[in-house]
Amino acid sequence: MEKTELLAQVPLFASLKSTYLSEIASKVTVRNYRRGEAIFHKDDPGYALYIIRKGQVKIHTSSLDGEEVILTILRDGDFFGELALLDGRPRSATATALDNIEILMLHRNDLLSIVGKHAELAIDIMVALSERLRRTNLLLEDSIFLDLPRRLCRRLLELGEKHGFEMDKGIEIDLNLTQQDLADMVGASRVAVNRLLGLFQDMGLVSISKKHIIILRPEELRKRIY
């Protein structure tokens, strides 16, 4: 896929005309990362915006006791790194490749120059930042008000909504997730999450294989949150 075509599919640039997209495309560079390789670390300088062309990236940080917490998982067409890019402060989290990935990188000065000429892009950036802030608030609320079974139900449904596709028997989450990854997303141990997933499977709510999770009864999972 050409750079301009990919940019047109990114929500951040969706409102821009093709001529403006071509201008941005001329500024981006292509980078490749191997599975497990860090794209940037927390507290690194924020000098670029990243757009995933192919592959999956996890955005994560560490709790006060050193445990990893996965904030979100992104894939083809998603972007990240916009917060530090705009305020010039260090990165607030770490970005790591979940598989071999290809990304487009747009340097801070180039993006700010384009924003200065196209006010609609500035509005789209504010919308994107608002969505990220709402998600951060939701994660905080979950950690305070929801117990582990309900947090796990919510994360499974979110993953199904963002990364799932319909099958005859349910919604398959199309991610290279390990049980440790899922545990890091809900702030629990792998053993506890493994036990709950086994319980959900016995109840016919999900189907678990080595590589995939299939949500069999999403409405039942949703009822267990509230």
3-state secondary structure of 49: strand
Report pLDDT for 85: 64
Across 88-116, average pLDDT: 88
Q: What is the CA radius of gyration of the chain?
A: 19
Per-residue pLDDT tens over the stretch 14-24: 777 787 788 88
Q: Given pLDDT bands bounded at 50, 70 and 90, which one contains residue 84?
A: low
- Range with lowest mean pLDDT among 42-46, 123-127, 218-222: 123-127
Per-residue pLDDT tens over the stretch 148-205: 999 999 999 999 998 898 988 899 998 878 888 889 989 888 999 999 999 999 999 9
Per-residue pLDDT tens over the stretch 37-67: 999 999 998 888 899 988 999 999 987 777 8
The encoded tokens of residue 193 equal 């999450």
Q: Given pLDDT bands bounded at 50, 70 and 90, which one contains residue 1?
A: low
166 or 134, higher pLDDT = 166
Domains of the chain: 3-144 (2.60.120.10), 146-223 (1.10.10.10)
Q: Which residues, 6+ apart, have CB-to-CB distance to 121 below 8 Å?
A: 12, 13, 15, 16, 20, 114, 115
Report CA-CA distances (Å) from 185 to 22, 77, 99, 175, 222.
Answer: 37, 21, 18, 13, 18
Report pLDDT for 201: 95
Per-residue pLDDT tens over the stretch 60-80: 998 777 788 888 899 888 889
144 or 146, higher pLDDT = 146
Report pLDDT for 65: 75
Look up the pTM and report it: 0.79
Report pLDDT for 38: 96
